[in-house]
Chains A and B, each alone.
Chain A
Amino acid sequence: MSAIIEVQDVSKSFGGVVANKDISLSVEKGRITGLIGPNGSGKTTLFNSIVGYHPIDAGSIKFEGKEISKLPVQNIARLGLLRTFQQTRIYGAMNCVDNMLISLPHRKMGFAEAFGRHGKKDYNRADQLLDFVGLYEKRFLRAGSLSFGQQKLLEFAMALMNEPTGLLLDEPTAGINPTLINGLIDRLKRANTEFGITLFIIEHNMRVIMNMAEKIYCLAHGQLLAEGTPDKIQNDQRVIDAYLGAH
């Protein structure tokens, strides 16, 4: 198995606050990898660095062997590496179907094609994916009028619509009704197996991440604390201490 995302010695600080320090990790192609750590340990900062949201101070980030640490957000997204947001972001004034249609992969779309309309195939795919996350009935409602959990599901469906190779999910189950979480785990796993999308997931819900990920990285105070299989991480004394505040 080859690594699809390779992070080498990445550091990032904001003013005096060191958010990431010498972090190295790799995400295997076609797998589900987890990223955990207490609040403020630098998980989201690392995600932001990977997708080009802000420049990094030092280190290198590669996606499919290509250096991406200097590229802007849009170019990285068009390479097929996408992220979802912790504070869910959807297009509030547009309906769900339009939210899906505009998420079609722009790397494959020329400028002239922007002046065309969507074909039946696009609409069908949007409907199918909305059905996949259980939003089919609400597809003509404004996305902004959906509940937080539903917006989260919509954002996930939009990401799938984009047919990414790699998808970074920032707390996909936060704010979602516990009974829906099992369904979401199932859909994330299916996105991985059926669509072959590599997933890299930040998650606070230990049950969820231990259930899904094959490999987990744990951050604390901006540094890599531990890595390994879910079993190994669960029994690592340093991880337990970090979460309970012994650090």
Chain B
Amino acid sequence: MLDILWHRLRRALLVILGVSLFAFMIVHLTGDPAVLMLPPDATIEQVEEFRQAMGFNDPLWQQYLRWLSKAVRGDFGLSLRHQQPALALIAERMPATVELTVAALLVALLLGIPLGVWTGSKGNSLPSFLGSIFGLLGQSMPVFWLALMLQLLFGLIIPIFPLTGRGTISQLVMPAIALGLYTTATIMRLLQSQMGEVLQQDYIRTARSKGLSYTRVVFKHALRNALLPVVTIVGLQLGTLLGGAVITESIFAWPGVGRLLVQAINNRDIPLVQAGVFVLAIGIVTINLVTDLLYTWLDPRIRLQR
């Protein structure tokens, strides 16, 4: 187990190093950083002076190492717009994003798993047909459209939920559904097909021949086997959810990292963008690492292999 952990950890570190290189390069890929960071009316002398001070004349690799050594200590520099440490700004908004992501995931799990089991254990019938339609719709609707439609329907026409903002539970409902519906549909479809397949297996017949009740066969023998791919998908989807939060947060004026990042991009606030990308990337890599480990714990067959 420790062996696997070490192996996976090394790979995760490699990915993070790659992302750091990318985040660093953003500055240099979008034009002359000194000009970008200074106000438009700065004189040539001021620009040159700033370039010297920031070390933009040094070779790239030196700049990268310098930037990285600061970054790993959490120093991404001051946000150009807010004049505060970039990481602190991100950290301040993080709880809101985590709250939204977790809420969306809860929606997806609490809706997706029961729906998947129900429609998957019914064979070719009306529930399975309706489930397929729901799955198709859920996966086809873009988040921004769904979010706007939810706002229109439940915010304006039948005003049950507040349109924007964060603070109360009722403000969380619409963003969480908008963000989580795609994952709900994904989980449901996957589980539906998995259940259908697993229930055909011989060991299900074995379980029935033991004299187990139908419920016990479905939940104890079938679900455990059908759930495995769902774990992988949930892990991958968490990354999508974190990324999708950018759009959802902007629409619902949710004060999270995603919205901050969009604003930072609009303002060309490079230190803030770098810090945001870096933090989100570490989050996603960590989630994938945990999924990997969870997978080995869930499937005893993987435990022996590397």
Q: Real complex partners, A and B?
A: no
